Amino acid sequence: MSRKTESYPVKTANSLWHIYRTVPFFKVVKNFIVIQIARYTPFLKVKNWLYRTFLRMKVGPETAVALMVMMDVMFPERISIGRNTIIGYNTTILAHEYLIKEYRLGDVVIGDEVMIGANTTILPGVTIGDGAVISAGTLVHRDVPAGAFVGGNPMQMIKERV
């Protein structure tokens, strides 16, 4: 299973130089402010409300996003988190990647009852199946099947079904 991203080539300079042609400046400013408030908010219901209301993310009921989680500042609306899921401390969830000759966008879909350990990075275009467990410090660079236990950098399957 690989990542599902859309690729957009650039002709001059690296793709980050084209950032405000790909996403409006004031959208990034608003998203940054909301994400920073949410990162420090200890109230889960308030945090989920911020994500749903201002970032247009899909966040299921009873989902717990820990302190310091960094959502994608440019395309948070491409992140979907299921019901009763835990996103661990200081995790980063990206829906974009700016590269030298192109930039890529991809939806991140996190299922129901998923447990994501602290300091994990999730790359764009990844789907994490229901009931999966991601160990702390993992780089999630490809899809994770439902019920799987994965970890490491590079991410490896630890156990097929939990």
Task: Report the CATH number that the domain containing residue 33 is assigned in CATH.
Answer: 2.160.10.10
Q: Please report whether residue 88 resides in a domain.
A: yes
Residue 15 lies in a domain: yes
Confidence band (pLDDT; 50, 70, 90) for 162? low
* Average predicted confidence (pLDDT) for the chain: 96
Please report the pLDDT score of residue 147 as a whole number.
97
The answer to whether 97 and 3 are in contact (CB under 8 A) is no
Average pLDDT, integer, range 62-86 = 98
Q: Which two tokens stand for residue 51?
A: 């994500």
pLDDT at res. 2: 67
Number of domains in the chain: 1
What's the rounded Cα separation, in Å, for the pair 36 and 30? 10
- Residue 104's pLDDT is 96
The average pLDDT across 13-22 equals 92
Q: Is residue 53 part of a domain?
A: yes
The confidence score (pLDDT) of residue 3 equals 87
Question: What mean pLDDT is predicted for residues 25-35?
Answer: 98
> Rounded mean pLDDT of 103-122?
98
Q: What percent of the chain has pLDDT over 90?
A: 94
Cβ partners under 8 Å of residue 65, min gap 6? 38, 44, 47, 48, 51, 59, 81, 87
Name residues whose C-beta falls within 8 Å of residue 90's C-beta, 6 or more positions apart in sequence.
66, 67, 68, 69, 70, 118, 119
Residue 151 has pLDDT above 70, yes or no: yes
Q: Can you give the residue range of the structural domain that contains 27?
A: 6-159
Note the pLDDT of residue 161: 79
For a pLDDT cut of 70, what percent of the chain falls above it?
Answer: 98
Q: Is the residue at 1 inside a domain?
A: no
